[in-house]
Structure 1
């Protein structure tokens, strides 16, 4: 009887540990995380830029198919490779970095195919306005990093196309610049 009680207690403890261990927290790896955007330039070429400063965390439970992600992007870190263009993008015409130094995405509705995340829905806050956004995962993977002593790393390339006018960014519409901006968040996050 004593062995049975001990066996049941041990099994319950093991199951509790396994169920609890599925929900994990991940911190974004800044050396493998990039936030980029692109917009058509008069239908001739594509203007592209990135934000050099960004941070985020994610919680992921693949067994329960749930998660949560928070991303903060520093608008003062915009980089197109051309200083004059960077300054214009940071001006009140566009990102208004002095007044709105961050862009935020918070998502808590994860869509899965098997154990792979295929989309994350949440809210994007830009220029003080918040709109619902779904980031589609072009690829998602978790692996044991040989560079980090086999710690688990999860991530992928997530993208969406936003209507910038929904956030009040209307500059250039009269010139023919489109409303649509493609946003890509490439992220790798390390299990904590």
Structure 2
């Protein structure tokens, strides 16, 4: 081998190692001011009741090169907010979320699904009322940008799924109050 070939191989190897070093996963903290977890459920099959959880926290890890990631999200169940205090009280009670006995709900991902360079879905375990089931959150509008005010990268998007509340032990009002509950998670997370 000539010295030129050896030098070229060493240079290429060095670039590959440097490139791999830049492919390390990045950690992002969920921004509670730009993250909302909302739910939608039909009221006796007619109008749609909506609410949200005002207190949430968590982290996202994303490796764009390896196309992997993880999410760890926690919701404070006592922070439910429908805009109507009496309804909030009923939802916090034993008929629905039982916030006193189960003060938190969590979502912990097991894998990210990519379509090209974009996250298209996140699969993970949702724990609610002490019961855990796997759900798939479909992604809409996922992207990352350099936030000019924070001077950091921010990634986010809208994620949604529909769950059957009876699987989590929430059977009050069935079948008159429908079983399907749509979850919508609007999330933005700031690179740490």
TM-score by length of 1: 0.91
Matches within 5 A, 1:68-107: 68-107=70-109
Q: How many residues align?
A: 186
Alignment root-mean-square deviation, CA: 1.7
- Distance, in Å, in 1 between the alignment partners of 2:93 and 2:171 is 13
Is 1:160 matched with 2:122?
Answer: no
Matches within 5 A, 1:1-192: 8=10, 12=14, 15-22=16-23, 23-149=25-151, 151-174=152-175, 176-192=176-192
Moved more, 59-68 or 121-130: 59-68
**Is there any run of 5+ residues in structure 1 with no aligned partner, and where?**
none
What are the superposed Cα offsets for residues 130-163 of structure 1, whole Å, 9 maximum, x if unpaired?
00100000220010111212x1111100000000
2:98 counterpart SS class: coil
TM-score by length of 2: 0.91
The list of structure 1 runs, each at least 4 consecutive aligned residues, that deviate by more than 2 angstroms after superposition, is 7-12, 14-18
Moved more, 18-27 or 160-169: 18-27
Q: In the alignment, is the contact (CA less than 8 A) between 1:66 and 1:108 conserved in 2? A: no
Higher helix share: 1
**Is there any run of 5+ residues in structure 2 with no aligned partner, and where?**
none
Q: In the alignment, is the contact (CA less than 8 A) between 1:54 and 1:73 conserved in 2? A: yes
